Amino acid sequence: MRHPPLIYALLLAVSPAGAQDLTLAIPPVRSSFQIDNQPVAITASGSISRVSHGGGEEVFRLRLTADLTDLQATSMTALLRAQLDRSDRCGDRIAIQDATLVPADPASLLTVRLHYERWACVKALGKQMTKRLAGGDAQVKVKITPSVEGNSTVKLEPEVGEIEADGSLGEMLRSGSLGETLRQKIRTSLESALEKGAANLTAALPPAAQSYAAIRSAEFTDAGAGRLAVLLVGEIRIPTGQVELLLGQIKQRAASR
C-alpha cells in the first residue's frame, strides 16, 4: 500500500529512524483584526522542521510568514491619522495626507506626507488672537526594522531618513520635538497593529503547538510585486507525547483545504 506523502511523514514522526528527518508545511490560515473600525486581513502560512528528538521532548524549527498586503493597502493612512492628526488652537496642527508602506528587506520603508503648522495665542487690544508661526508640507521617509524581545514580543525601531520639507519645517523634523513625536507615534501605531496581528498569527499554528511556540526573530520581506510580509522564525518545544496530536492536526487541516 502506498502512503500519501503527509501520511508517510506522520509515520516517520513516530519512528526513531526518521527522528531527524521531518518537515511539514503549515497550510495558510486567514484571520483579521480591527484598526479604527476597519478590518485588516492577514494570511499566515509556514512550516515546522524537527531539529532534535529525545529526552521526552521534541524541538521543531518554526517559520511563519504573514501577508501584510491588506495593512499596506487600506490602513496605513487611517492608522497614522488616528495617532498623529491634531489641531491645537494655540500649538501644533498636524494633518497626515497619506502614508505608504513598502518592503525594504529586512526592514520596511514608510513614506508619510503631512501638513504642519505651529500657532501661538497672543493678546492684542484686550483680545486673544492666534498667530501662525511656522508651517508647510513635508514628506518623510522612515525605515522600520523589527526585532524580537522577551517572550516573542515583536518590537519596531523607526529611523527617520530622507526629509523633503518647506522652509524651517525640515529642521524641526530632523532635530526638534516634532521629529521625535513623529518617530514615537509611528512606533506606537505600528507596534499596536503588529501586536494585534501577532495575536491572530497563533491561529496559523495547530492548537497542540500554540502554548509551546516561541518567536526568536522577525524581519520584513517582499512577498512579490511590492507586497509586504513579515517572516517570524522560532521554535516549538513540545513533549514527545504531544507530537502525534500535533501532526494529526496538521494533517487534518491540510486535508480540509
Report the percent of the chain where pLDDT is more than 70: 88
Between 17-31, 92-106, 133-147, 151-165, the lowest mean confidence (pLDDT) is in 17-31
Q: Whole-angstrom Cα distance, residue 157 to residue 148?
A: 11
pLDDT of residue 13: 41
Please give the mean pLDDT across all residues of the chain.
84
C-alpha cell at 88: 491645537
Whether the pLDDT of residue 7 is over 60: the answer is: no
Highest-pLDDT range among 4-13, 77-86, 97-106: 97-106
Q: How confident is the model at residue 83 (pLDDT cuts 50, 70, 90)?
A: confident
Find out whether 95 and 70 touch, Cβ atoms under 8 Å: no
| Mean pLDDT value of segment 124-149 | 89
Label residues 59-69 b or e (16+ Cβ within 10 Å = b): bbbbebbbbbb
C-alpha cell at 137: 508640507
Compute φ and ψ for 161, nearest 5 degrees: -110, -125
Q: Maximum distance among all alpha carbons in the chain?
A: 98
pLDDT of residue 240: 94
Between 181-190, 197-206, 223-232, the lowest mean confidence (pLDDT) is in 197-206
pLDDT of residue 21: 66
pLDDT of residue 167: 81
C-alpha cell at 37: 473600525
Whether the pLDDT of residue 63 is over 90: the answer is: yes
| Mean pLDDT value of segment 1-29 | 55
Q: Whole-angstrom Cα distance, residue 141 to residue 189?
A: 16
Whether the pLDDT of residue 59 is over 70: the answer is: yes
Q: Which residue has the higher pLDDT, 192 or 134?
A: 134
Domain locations along the chain: 5-66+205-255, 72-197
Condensed to tens digits (0 to 9), the pLDDT of residues 104-119 reads 999 999 999 999 999 9
Q: Which residue has the higher pLDDT, 2 or 95?
A: 95
| Mean pLDDT value of segment 120-127 | 85
Q: Which residue has the higher pLDDT, 160 or 15?
A: 160
Question: pTM above the 0.85 mark?
Answer: no
